[in-house]
Amino acid sequence: MRVLAINDLSCVGKCSLTVTLPILSACGVECTVLPTAILSTHTGGFTGYTFHDLTSELPAILAHWKSLGLKFDFIYSGYLGSIDQIELVSSIKKEFLAENGTFIVDPVMGDEGKLYAGFTAEYVNAMKALCAEADYILPNATEAAFLSGVEYPLTRENVDKALVELSKLSLPVITGVKDGADICVFFSGKNGGKYSFTHENVEGFFCGAGDVFASAFVACLARGKHTAEAIYLASEFATAAIRRSAKEVPDKKYGLSFEKEILPFVLSLQSLDKNA
């Protein structure tokens, strides 16, 4: 199974490609990368960061890949720096996704009720169109509210409305919905049913947690897990990394301390293998 990850390279502050590559490799999944931008740090909490947009480089990279006849079993897109890049991802899916391949969109746009720096309502609309082409979408509670029009904060009560709206686009997996002292991931089944997994919430803002969850989810799918198993394993892994970071990482903008949680995650993934 070969995965193409389309995401930025933030040099400092673990997120996007610096999270995806180690997780997929450790899971035994081959990961090709298409970097959308290179930043000195990610944009969440740092000031003065550099941002070099790589849009103009991408067509030549893609032309070369086309000449090699490359196709991908999974295409996973994350942080996209502009509407032009959203449109390019749509054409990459059409050109490079293998027959019966899976397209996963993490509509990275915001957190804690707000859009990240540089994102607009027009961008949200373009992202919504990309979501409509995906097999799975992985918004956090903020992104789900922006995409569905349901008022933030999402709760156990109004998340149903968001799931129904987002199911019109794709199969939604909504992370980070707070419920009292707990935090839940909600998802719709192909039959329209509503499902969730719940963990005890750890207070605070954990940058890059969505990327850890999404990368682990993609790894699980690529290893042949069903949707619910993949969501369960990825949410256990992300929660373990968040708990560790609450203790070990003094400045949360530097990202999750996920590395030492990779081995238990890979072991849990293998223990579910049919031939293990």
Which residues lie near ligand PXL (CB under 6 A)? 8, 10, 15-16, 39, 42-44, 79, 108, 116, 208, 210-211
Give the phi and the psi of residue 224 in degrees, each rounded to 5. Answer: 90, 10
CB-based closest residue to ligand PXL:
44
Contact 147, 131 (CB under 8 A): yes
End-to-end CA distance of the chain: give it in Å, rounded.
19
Beta strand pairing status for 114-115 and 110-111?
antiparallel
Task: Closer to ligand PXL by CB, 188 or 215: give it.
Answer: 215
- Rounded least distance, CB 213 to ligand PXL, Å: 10
- Rounded least distance, CB 191 to ligand PXL, Å: 31
Contact 76, 218 (CB under 8 A): yes
Task: Closer to ligand PXL by CB, 157 or 251: give it.
Answer: 251
Task: Closer to ligand PXL by CB, 39 or 220: give it.
Answer: 39
Task: Closer to ligand PXL by CB, 15 or 184: give it.
Answer: 15
- Rounded least distance, CB 151 to ligand PXL, Å: 23
- Rounded least distance, CB 10 to ligand PXL, Å: 5
**Residue 72 DSSP SS3:** strand
Treating both helix axes as pointing N-terminal to C-terminal, what angle do 83-96 and 121-131 enclose, rounded to 10 degrees?
10
- Rounded least distance, CB 46 to ligand PXL, Å: 8
Separation in Å, CA 65 to CA 4, 6, 86, 92, 276: 12, 14, 19, 11, 35
